[in-house]
């Protein structure tokens, strides 16, 4: 009897509370019952399976993270991390759909919205009755967006006129609203807006042909003299500081994506190595294969420990930008290495969708580049430890 593949080698799940373990378990069951059977089909179709939304609603996951008034549960970041971990073990795209809605979009309203805006949006977002998206990146660049934001807003009577483009915006092809970040042409301040689907001048084109995260739908948004009432301007946004605060929270979630993606790939590789035979032996009997598996397990174990500590720091109010950035840098790079070993262990089958590992291999490339590329997050940490900024 061979041991079952288990990426939690040090039993780190056992250090969590019963409620936290329950959330991890519920997410795991959901992924196996509802996502795993259809994910390859939707990957091939380059489409998000909207029928998952009512099933996901039944889990009531947002209420494990947020309170209805926009404050966070005491262990919100650990909960978010566990949902992300379990989702990514099976499919990173599902975690991204959830992270964009329950992280980026929800947090923008929770941190930047007035009491009225929170009362209007947060309960229905918690119930997945309204789906959110988050529009920050622009075609001319994501890394420089804090300094070089080209999308503008101009006060115009009782409302605002938005002009510009936003690229890569997850969920935006079907979201009920998208948070749009824009620079005020008169004051140069960054402002946030809730732009409702169907608003004239707000156009979304689906980005086709991605080689990673094909189950997430990303849009290119064009704001063509798009009129938004002042009541849909996020009333408590303090310029870029609020945007950065949202990104700090969600960056911890992206660090967890690396853990889940790597752990899923590791477990697939262990199982395959116990079954696949070459030269009359299971490939897991070869020392070179064992060496790769152990290397992968070391990565996964250290990434998991790092992210648990990061989440506890976040929930205790001690997480700084550079803490989230280091975790993202570390897990994205280790994930890339781990999934490459896993894919290799599958030989030719490693590039076939049906064996699972190819999807992890592809998705890692998106993890590596979004929520601050590896270079940008490295420079954030570099600035913190030297006191010297490499940014202009």
Which residues contact ligand FAD (rule: CB under 6 A)?
100, 134-137, 141-143, 168-170, 213, 218, 366, 369-371, 373, 375-376, 379
CB atoms within 10 A of CB 243: 24
CB of 359 to ligand FAD, least distance (A): 14
CB of 273 to ligand FAD, least distance (A): 30
Instruction: Name the residue nearer to ligand FAD (CB basis): 3 or 209.
Output: 209
CB of 91 to ligand FAD, least distance (A): 14
Instruction: Name the residue nearer to ligand FAD (CB basis): 75 or 377.
Output: 377
CB of 175 to ligand FAD, least distance (A): 10
Strands 177-184 and 132-135: parallel
Residues 278 and 258 sit within 8 Å (Cβ to Cβ): no
Rounded to the nearest 10 degrees, how much is the dihedral formed by the CA atoms of 319, 107, 126, 67?
A: 50
Residues 6+ apart with CB under 8 A from 91: 31, 35, 36, 39, 215, 359
Residues 188 and 158 sit within 8 Å (Cβ to Cβ): no
Instruction: Name the residue nearer to ligand FAD (CB basis): 276 or 383.
Output: 383
Instruction: Name the residue nearer to ligand FAD (CB basis): 7 or 112.
Output: 112
Instruction: Name the residue nearer to ligand FAD (CB basis): 48 or 370.
Output: 370
CB of 39 to ligand FAD, least distance (A): 16
CB of 333 to ligand FAD, least distance (A): 13
Strands 177-184 and 152-156: parallel
Instruction: Name the residue nearer to ligand FAD (CB basis): 178 or 311.
Output: 178
What's the rounded Cα separation, in Å, for the pair 96 and 93? Answer: 5
Instruction: Name the residue nearer to ligand FAD (CB basis): 78 or 262.
Output: 262
Whose tokens are 């477990």? That residue is 267
Query: Residues 343-372, buried b or exposed e (16+ Cβ, 10 A)?
Result: bebbeeebeeeebbbbbbbbbbbbbbbbbb
Residues 27 and 83 sit within 8 Å (Cβ to Cβ): yes
**Residue 76, CA atoms < 13 Å, CB-side half-sphere:** 20
In 3D space, the residue among 309, 332, 180 whose CA is nearest the CA of residue 255 turns out to be 332
Instruction: Name the residue nearer to ligand FAD (CB basis): 43 or 370.
Output: 370
CB of 306 to ligand FAD, least distance (A): 21
Instruction: Name the residue nearer to ligand FAD (CB basis): 114 or 369.
Output: 369
Structure token pair of residue 369: 């580049």
What's the rounded Cα separation, in Å, for the pair 255 and 208? Answer: 26
Residues 113 and 70 sit within 8 Å (Cβ to Cβ): yes
CB of 105 to ligand FAD, least distance (A): 9
Instruction: Name the residue nearer to ligand FAD (CB basis): 27 or 218.
Output: 218
Q: Which residue's Cβ lies closest to ligand FAD?
A: 142
Residues 232 and 219 sit within 8 Å (Cβ to Cβ): no
Residues 215 and 165 sit within 8 Å (Cβ to Cβ): no
Percentages helix, strand, coil for the chain, rounded to the nearest 5?
A: 55, 15, 30
CB of 377 to ligand FAD, least distance (A): 9
CB of 203 to ligand FAD, least distance (A): 17
């Amino acid at each position: 009897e061979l041991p079952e593949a288990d990426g939690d080698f040090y039993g780190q799940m056992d250090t969590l509370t019963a409620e936290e373990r329950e959330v991890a378990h519920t997410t795991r069951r959901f992924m196996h019952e509802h996502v795993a059977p259809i994910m390859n089909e939707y990957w091939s179709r380059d489409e998000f399976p909207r029928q998952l939304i009512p099933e996901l609603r039944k889990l009531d996951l947002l209420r494990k993270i947020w309170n209805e008034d926009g404050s966070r549960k005491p262990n919100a970041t650990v909960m978010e991390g566990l949902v992300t971990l379990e989702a990514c073990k099976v499919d990173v795209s599902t975690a991204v759909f959830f992270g964009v809605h329950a992280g980026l979009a929800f947090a923008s309203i929770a941190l930047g919205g007035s009491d009225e805006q929170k009362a209007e949006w947060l309960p229905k977002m918690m119930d997945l009755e309204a789906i959110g998206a988050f529009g920050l990146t622009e075609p001319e660049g994501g890394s420089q967006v804090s300094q070089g934001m080209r999308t503008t807003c101009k006060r115009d009577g009782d409302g605002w006129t938005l002009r510009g483009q936003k690229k890569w915006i997850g969920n935006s092809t079907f979201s009920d609203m998208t948070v749009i970040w824009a620079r005020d042409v008169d004051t140069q301040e960054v402002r946030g807006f809730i732009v409702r689907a169907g608003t004239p001048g707000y156009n979304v084109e689906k980005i086709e042909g991605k080689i990673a995260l094909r189950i997430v739908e990303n849009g290119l948004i064009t704001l063509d003299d798009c009129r938004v009432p002042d009541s849909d301007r996020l009333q408590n946004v303090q310029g870029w500081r609020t945007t950065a605060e949202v990104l700090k929270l969600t960056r911890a979630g992206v660090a967890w994506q690396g853990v889940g993606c790597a752990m899923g790939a590791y477990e697939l590789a262990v199982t395959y190595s116990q079954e696949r035979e070459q030269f009359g032996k299971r490939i897991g009997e070869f020392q070179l294969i064992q060496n790769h598996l152990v290397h992968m397990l070391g990565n996964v174990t250290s990434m998991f420990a790092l992210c648990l500590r990061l989440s506890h720091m976040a929930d205790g109010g001690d997480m700084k930008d550079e803490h989230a950035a280091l975790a993202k840098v570390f897990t994205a790079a280790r994930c890339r290495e781990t999934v490459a070993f896993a894919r290799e262990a599958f030989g030719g089958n490693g590039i076939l969708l049906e064996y699972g590992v190819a999807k992890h291999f592809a998705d890692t490339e998106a993890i590596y580049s979004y929520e601050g590329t590896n270079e940008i997050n490295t420079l954030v940490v570099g600035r913190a430890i030297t006191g010297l900024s490499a940014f202009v």
